Protein backbone atom coordinates (compact mmCIF):
# COMPACT_ATOMS: atom_id res chain seq x y z
CA UNK A 1 0.00 0.00 0.00
CA UNK A 2 2.83 2.39 0.88
CA UNK A 3 4.48 1.71 -2.46
CA UNK A 4 1.24 2.38 -4.35
CA UNK A 5 0.63 5.56 -2.35
CA UNK A 6 4.17 6.71 -3.07
CA UNK A 7 3.73 6.00 -6.78
CA UNK A 8 0.45 7.90 -6.83
CA UNK A 9 2.05 10.93 -5.13
CA UNK A 10 4.97 10.84 -7.57
CA UNK A 11 2.60 10.62 -10.53
CA UNK A 12 0.56 13.54 -9.17
CA UNK A 13 3.71 15.66 -8.80
CA UNK A 14 4.82 14.78 -12.32
CA UNK A 15 1.46 15.89 -13.71
CA UNK A 16 1.61 19.19 -11.80
CA UNK A 17 5.17 19.82 -12.94
CA UNK A 18 4.28 19.11 -16.57
CA UNK A 19 1.32 21.50 -16.31
CA UNK A 20 3.58 24.29 -15.00
CA UNK A 21 6.12 23.64 -17.76
CA UNK A 22 3.37 23.63 -20.37
CA UNK A 23 2.08 26.96 -19.05
CA UNK A 24 5.52 28.59 -19.15
CA UNK A 25 5.92 27.80 -22.87
CA UNK A 26 2.42 28.40 -24.19
CA UNK A 27 3.58 29.98 -27.45
CA UNK A 28 5.87 27.12 -28.39
CA UNK A 29 3.31 24.58 -27.22
CA UNK A 30 0.74 26.10 -29.61
CA UNK A 31 3.24 25.89 -32.48
CA UNK A 32 3.93 22.25 -31.57
CA UNK A 33 0.23 21.44 -31.56
CA UNK A 34 -0.29 23.24 -34.89
CA UNK A 35 2.47 21.27 -36.64
CA UNK A 36 1.23 18.04 -35.09
CA UNK A 37 -2.34 18.80 -36.25
CA UNK A 38 -1.09 19.40 -39.78
CA UNK A 39 0.75 16.07 -39.82
CA UNK A 40 -2.21 14.15 -38.39
CA UNK A 41 -4.50 15.89 -40.89
CA UNK A 42 -2.41 14.66 -43.81
CA UNK A 43 -2.46 11.10 -42.42
CA UNK A 44 -6.23 11.24 -41.89
CA UNK A 45 -6.73 12.74 -45.36
CA UNK A 46 -4.88 9.77 -46.86
CA UNK A 47 -7.26 7.49 -44.94
CA UNK A 48 -10.26 9.32 -46.44
CA UNK A 49 -8.72 9.52 -49.91
CA UNK A 50 -8.11 5.78 -49.96
CA UNK A 51 -11.81 5.23 -49.22
CA UNK A 52 -12.87 7.67 -51.96
CA UNK A 53 -10.53 6.11 -54.54
CA UNK A 54 -11.81 2.62 -53.72
CA UNK A 55 -15.38 3.90 -54.09
CA UNK A 56 -14.55 5.36 -57.52
CA UNK A 57 -12.87 2.17 -58.69
CA UNK A 58 -15.78 0.02 -57.53
CA UNK A 59 -18.23 2.43 -59.18
CA UNK A 60 -16.40 2.17 -62.49
CA UNK A 61 -16.27 -1.60 -62.21
CA UNK A 62 -20.02 -1.69 -61.55
CA UNK A 63 -20.82 0.44 -64.61
CA UNK A 64 -18.06 -0.55 -67.01
CA UNK A 65 -17.25 -4.03 -68.20
CA UNK A 66 -15.64 -5.72 -71.18
CA UNK A 67 -18.14 -6.13 -74.00
CA UNK A 68 -17.34 -8.62 -76.75
CA UNK A 69 -19.51 -8.06 -79.84
CA UNK A 70 -19.90 -11.04 -82.19
CA UNK A 71 -20.18 -11.12 -85.96
CA UNK A 72 -23.67 -11.42 -87.49
CA UNK A 73 -23.00 -14.93 -88.76
CA UNK A 74 -21.90 -16.29 -85.34
CA UNK A 75 -24.20 -19.02 -84.06
CA UNK A 76 -25.79 -18.65 -80.64
CA UNK A 77 -24.40 -22.05 -79.63
CA UNK A 78 -20.84 -20.83 -80.28
CA UNK A 79 -21.47 -17.69 -78.23
CA UNK A 80 -22.79 -19.72 -75.30
CA UNK A 81 -19.76 -22.02 -75.42
CA UNK A 82 -17.44 -18.99 -75.28
CA UNK A 83 -19.52 -17.60 -72.43
CA UNK A 84 -19.03 -20.82 -70.46
CA UNK A 85 -15.25 -20.70 -70.95
CA UNK A 86 -15.05 -17.07 -69.84
CA UNK A 87 -17.27 -17.69 -66.79
CA UNK A 88 -14.78 -20.34 -65.60
CA UNK A 89 -11.80 -17.95 -65.77
CA UNK A 90 -10.20 -16.60 -62.57
CA UNK A 91 -11.48 -13.18 -61.57
CA UNK A 92 -14.67 -13.26 -63.66
CA UNK A 93 -17.69 -12.39 -61.55
CA UNK A 94 -20.43 -12.31 -64.16
CA UNK A 95 -20.94 -12.90 -67.88
CA UNK A 96 -24.19 -11.65 -69.44
CA UNK A 97 -25.30 -12.77 -72.89
CA UNK A 98 -27.22 -10.12 -74.84
CA UNK A 99 -28.79 -11.42 -78.06
CA UNK A 100 -29.45 -9.27 -81.13
CA UNK A 101 -33.15 -9.18 -80.29
CA UNK A 102 -32.49 -8.15 -76.68
CA UNK A 103 -30.03 -5.45 -77.79
CA UNK A 104 -32.69 -4.05 -80.14
CA UNK A 105 -35.34 -4.08 -77.39
CA UNK A 106 -32.97 -2.31 -74.97
CA UNK A 107 -32.17 0.35 -77.59
CA UNK A 108 -35.85 1.01 -78.31
CA UNK A 109 -36.63 1.22 -74.61
CA UNK A 110 -33.87 3.78 -74.02
CA UNK A 111 -34.63 5.93 -77.06
CA UNK A 112 -38.36 5.46 -77.62
CA UNK A 113 -38.91 9.19 -77.06
CA UNK A 114 -36.43 10.14 -79.80
CA UNK A 115 -38.37 10.17 -83.10
CA UNK A 116 -35.24 10.71 -85.22
CA UNK A 117 -33.56 7.56 -83.95
CA UNK A 118 -36.75 5.54 -84.19
CA UNK A 119 -37.30 6.68 -87.78
CA UNK A 120 -33.68 5.84 -88.67
CA UNK A 121 -34.17 2.37 -87.27
CA UNK A 122 -37.32 1.88 -89.35
CA UNK A 123 -35.54 3.06 -92.49
CA UNK A 124 -32.82 0.44 -92.02
CA UNK A 125 -35.40 -2.32 -92.13
CA UNK A 126 -33.26 -4.82 -90.21
CA UNK A 127 -31.73 -5.32 -86.79
CA UNK A 128 -28.29 -3.62 -86.88
CA UNK A 129 -27.23 -4.72 -83.39
CA UNK A 130 -24.71 -7.46 -82.67
CA UNK A 131 -24.99 -10.18 -80.08
CA UNK A 132 -22.58 -9.58 -77.22
CA UNK A 133 -21.16 -10.81 -73.95
CA UNK A 134 -20.85 -8.28 -71.13
CA UNK A 135 -18.07 -9.47 -68.83
CA UNK A 136 -17.58 -8.06 -65.32
CA UNK A 137 -14.35 -8.83 -63.50
CA UNK A 138 -13.64 -8.98 -59.76
CA UNK A 139 -10.90 -6.36 -60.10
CA UNK A 140 -8.97 -4.26 -62.62
CA UNK A 141 -6.06 -6.72 -62.65
CA UNK A 142 -8.23 -9.32 -64.41
CA UNK A 143 -9.34 -7.19 -67.37
CA UNK A 144 -6.11 -7.61 -69.31
CA UNK A 145 -6.23 -11.41 -69.02
CA UNK A 146 -9.84 -11.49 -70.23
CA UNK A 147 -9.04 -9.22 -73.17
CA UNK A 148 -6.11 -11.44 -74.18
CA UNK A 149 -8.32 -14.53 -73.98
CA UNK A 150 -10.79 -12.96 -76.40
CA UNK A 151 -7.92 -12.40 -78.88
CA UNK A 152 -6.87 -16.07 -78.96
CA UNK A 153 -7.69 -18.54 -81.72
CA UNK A 154 -10.34 -19.58 -82.63
CA UNK A 155 -12.38 -17.19 -80.45
CA UNK A 156 -11.26 -14.01 -82.19
CA UNK A 157 -12.68 -15.29 -85.48
CA UNK A 158 -16.19 -14.92 -84.04
CA UNK A 159 -15.67 -11.48 -82.55
CA UNK A 160 -16.33 -8.22 -84.36
CA UNK A 161 -14.92 -5.92 -81.65
CA UNK A 162 -13.99 -5.71 -77.96
CA UNK A 163 -14.43 -2.40 -76.12
CA UNK A 164 -11.79 -3.07 -73.43
CA UNK A 165 -9.53 -0.35 -74.83
CA UNK A 166 -12.21 2.22 -73.96
CA UNK A 167 -12.56 1.14 -70.32
CA UNK A 168 -8.92 0.37 -69.54
CA UNK A 169 -7.66 4.01 -69.45
CA UNK A 170 -10.36 5.10 -66.96
CA UNK A 171 -9.41 2.35 -64.51
CA UNK A 172 -5.68 2.87 -64.97
CA UNK A 173 -5.97 6.65 -64.49
CA UNK A 174 -7.67 6.21 -61.12
CA UNK A 175 -5.02 3.73 -59.98
CA UNK A 176 -2.21 6.03 -61.15
CA UNK A 177 -3.78 9.05 -59.45
CA UNK A 178 -4.27 7.10 -56.23
CA UNK A 179 -0.68 5.84 -56.24
CA UNK A 180 0.77 9.30 -56.96
CA UNK A 181 -1.28 11.04 -54.29
CA UNK A 182 -0.40 8.35 -51.76
CA UNK A 183 3.30 8.86 -52.50
CA UNK A 184 2.97 12.63 -52.17
CA UNK A 185 0.98 12.20 -48.94
CA UNK A 186 3.53 9.83 -47.43
CA UNK A 187 6.35 12.25 -48.32
CA UNK A 188 4.45 15.15 -46.76
CA UNK A 189 3.74 13.10 -43.62
CA UNK A 190 7.46 12.29 -43.31
CA UNK A 191 8.42 15.98 -43.63
CA UNK A 192 5.80 17.11 -41.11
CA UNK A 193 6.75 14.31 -38.72
CA UNK A 194 10.41 15.45 -38.77
CA UNK A 195 9.28 19.05 -38.23
CA UNK A 196 7.05 18.00 -35.33
CA UNK A 197 9.84 16.03 -33.67
CA UNK A 198 12.32 18.90 -34.07
CA UNK A 199 9.91 21.53 -32.75
CA UNK A 200 8.79 19.44 -29.77
CA UNK A 201 12.44 18.56 -29.17
CA UNK A 202 13.41 22.24 -28.97
CA UNK A 203 10.37 23.10 -26.85
CA UNK A 204 11.30 20.44 -24.29
CA UNK A 205 14.91 21.61 -24.38
CA UNK A 206 13.79 25.15 -23.55
CA UNK A 207 11.51 23.79 -20.84
CA UNK A 208 14.48 21.91 -19.35
CA UNK A 209 16.61 25.04 -19.46
CA UNK A 210 13.94 27.16 -17.76
CA UNK A 211 13.54 24.49 -15.06
CA UNK A 212 17.26 23.91 -14.52
CA UNK A 213 17.22 25.26 -10.93
CA UNK A 214 14.32 22.96 -10.00
CA UNK A 215 16.14 20.03 -11.57
CA UNK A 216 19.28 20.74 -9.55
CA UNK A 217 17.25 20.78 -6.34
CA UNK A 218 15.50 17.54 -7.32
CA UNK A 219 18.86 15.87 -7.89
CA UNK A 220 20.11 17.11 -4.52
CA UNK A 221 17.16 15.59 -2.69
CA UNK A 222 17.63 12.26 -4.48
CA UNK A 223 15.03 12.36 -7.27
CA UNK A 224 15.32 9.49 -9.76
CA UNK A 225 16.09 9.99 -13.44
CA UNK A 226 12.57 9.01 -14.49
CA UNK A 227 10.99 11.33 -11.94
CA UNK A 228 12.92 14.24 -13.49
CA UNK A 229 12.14 13.12 -17.03
CA UNK A 230 8.47 12.44 -16.22
CA UNK A 231 7.09 16.00 -16.55
CA UNK A 232 8.75 16.48 -19.94
CA UNK A 233 7.46 13.15 -21.25
CA UNK A 234 3.96 14.04 -20.04
CA UNK A 235 4.29 17.41 -21.76
CA UNK A 236 5.08 15.65 -25.04
CA UNK A 237 2.06 13.38 -24.50
CA UNK A 238 -0.17 16.39 -23.83
CA UNK A 239 0.88 17.95 -27.13
CA UNK A 240 -0.01 14.72 -28.93
CA UNK A 241 -3.37 14.36 -27.17
CA UNK A 242 -4.42 17.98 -27.84
CA UNK A 243 -3.37 17.67 -31.50
CA UNK A 244 -5.34 14.42 -31.92
CA UNK A 245 -8.48 15.90 -30.34
CA UNK A 246 -8.29 19.04 -32.49
CA UNK A 247 -7.68 17.01 -35.64
CA UNK A 248 -10.57 14.65 -34.87
CA UNK A 249 -12.92 17.60 -34.26
CA UNK A 250 -11.77 19.26 -37.47
CA UNK A 251 -12.47 16.16 -39.58
CA UNK A 252 -15.79 15.52 -37.84
CA UNK A 253 -16.99 19.03 -38.73
CA UNK A 254 -15.37 18.99 -42.17
CA UNK A 255 -16.82 15.63 -43.22
CA UNK A 256 -20.26 16.66 -41.94
CA UNK A 257 -20.19 19.88 -44.00
CA UNK A 258 -18.65 18.43 -47.17
CA UNK A 259 -20.50 15.11 -47.29
CA UNK A 260 -23.85 16.41 -48.73
CA UNK A 261 -22.05 18.39 -51.46
CA UNK A 262 -19.74 15.51 -52.33
CA UNK A 263 -22.67 13.11 -52.49
CA UNK A 264 -24.25 15.30 -55.18
CA UNK A 265 -21.17 14.71 -57.34
CA UNK A 266 -20.68 11.07 -56.35
CA UNK A 267 -24.05 9.51 -55.41
CA UNK A 268 -23.69 6.81 -52.80
CA UNK A 269 -20.51 8.26 -51.28
CA UNK A 270 -21.15 9.50 -47.73
CA UNK A 271 -17.85 10.39 -46.09
CA UNK A 272 -19.51 11.50 -42.85
CA UNK A 273 -21.05 8.06 -42.48
CA UNK A 274 -17.62 6.57 -43.25
CA UNK A 275 -16.10 8.82 -40.58
CA UNK A 276 -18.66 7.78 -37.95
CA UNK A 277 -18.17 4.08 -38.71
CA UNK A 278 -14.39 4.41 -38.40
CA UNK A 279 -14.19 7.14 -35.76
CA UNK A 280 -12.48 4.98 -33.14
CA UNK A 281 -9.94 3.64 -35.62
CA UNK A 282 -9.21 7.17 -36.87
CA UNK A 283 -8.87 8.49 -33.33
CA UNK A 284 -6.66 5.56 -32.34
CA UNK A 285 -4.35 6.26 -35.29
CA UNK A 286 -4.25 9.98 -34.55
CA UNK A 287 -3.67 9.73 -30.81
CA UNK A 288 -1.13 6.89 -31.14
CA UNK A 289 0.97 8.85 -33.63
CA UNK A 290 0.53 12.11 -31.72
CA UNK A 291 1.51 10.67 -28.34
CA UNK A 292 4.23 8.52 -29.88
CA UNK A 293 5.96 11.43 -31.62
CA UNK A 294 5.50 13.68 -28.59
CA UNK A 295 7.09 11.16 -26.23
CA UNK A 296 9.92 10.29 -28.64
CA UNK A 297 10.77 14.00 -29.02
CA UNK A 298 10.66 14.52 -25.26
CA UNK A 299 12.78 11.45 -24.56
CA UNK A 300 15.42 12.53 -27.07
CA UNK A 301 15.47 16.04 -25.63
CA UNK A 302 15.90 14.85 -22.04
CA UNK A 303 18.53 12.34 -23.07
CA UNK A 304 20.56 14.95 -24.96
CA UNK A 305 20.18 17.99 -22.73
CA UNK A 306 19.21 16.79 -19.30
CA UNK A 307 22.29 15.88 -17.31
CA UNK A 308 21.02 12.91 -15.37
Same domain, yes or no: 103 and 225: no
Same domain, 182 and 301: yes
- pLDDT in the model for residue 308: 47
Residue 166 forms part of a structural domain: no
- For 161-212, the pLDDT digits (tens) are 887 655 566 666 766 766 676 677 677 767 766 776 676 666 666 666 665 6
Residue 203 contacts by C-beta under 8 Å, 6 or more apart in sequence?
Answer: 25, 28, 29, 31, 32, 235, 239
Quick one: 145 and 109 in the same domain?
yes
Q: Tell me: do 144 and 287 sit in the same domain.
A: no
Question: Average pLDDT of 231-243?
Answer: 77
Query: Residue 78 sits in a domain of what CATH number?
Result: 3.30.70.3040
Give per-residue pLDDT as tens, 76-98: 888 888 888 888 888 888 888 88
Whether 70 has a pLDDT exceeding 70, the answer reads yes
Percent of the chain clearing pLDDT 90 (strictly above): 2
**Backbone angles phi and psi of 161, in degrees to 5:** -160, 155
Cβ(69)–Cβ(132) under 8 Å?
Answer: yes
Q: Are residues 50 and 83 in the same domain?
A: no
The residue range of the domain holding 106 is 72-157
Domains held by the chain: number? 2
What are the helix (H) ranges across the chain? 2-24, 26-63, 76-87, 100-111, 115-124, 143-150, 164-210, 212-220, 225-265, 271-277, 279-305
131 and 274 assigned to the same domain: no
- pTM greater than the 0.75 cutoff: no
Amino acid sequence: MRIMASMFISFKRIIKASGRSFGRNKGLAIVNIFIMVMMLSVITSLFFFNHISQFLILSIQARVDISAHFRFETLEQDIREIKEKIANMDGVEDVEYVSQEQALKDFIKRHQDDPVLMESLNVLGFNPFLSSLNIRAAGPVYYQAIAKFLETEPIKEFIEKVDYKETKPAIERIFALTANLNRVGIGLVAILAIMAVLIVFNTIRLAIYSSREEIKIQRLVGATNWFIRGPFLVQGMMIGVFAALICLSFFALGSWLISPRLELLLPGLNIFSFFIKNIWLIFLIQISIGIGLGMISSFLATRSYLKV
